[in-house]
Amino acid sequence: MKLTPWFPGAIKPVRVGVYKRVYDTTEYSPSDFGYCYWNGHVWSWKATTPTGALRLRHARSPYQEFPWRGVMK
């Protein structure tokens, strides 16, 4: 899977879709990463897989400012 560089949470994605996000910017352990769906306005809740992020796309995350990176096909 190819990924884009990391972007700060203040910058929002241009395209709707699944993105990888980091939830703890201090340690970066594997449990700190997750996949979220960006609907063009808000992030969904964290899932462990891109498919899971699609399933959770209607569950709004309270964490809107975490860094993210794109998942390229």
Task: Write out the chain in H/E/C secondary structure.
Answer: CEECCCECCCCCCCCCEEEEEECCCCCCCHHHEEEEEECCCCEECCECCHHHHHHCCCCECCCCCCCEEEEEC
pLDDT at 39: 98
Q: Is the pTM of this model over 0.95?
A: no
* Most distant CA atoms of the chain, gap in Å: 29
The domain spans of the chain are 2-72
Digitized pLDDT (tens) for each residue of the chain, 73 residues in all? 788 999 999 999 999 999 999 986 666 565 688 999 999 999 999 999 999 999 999 999 999 999 999 977 6
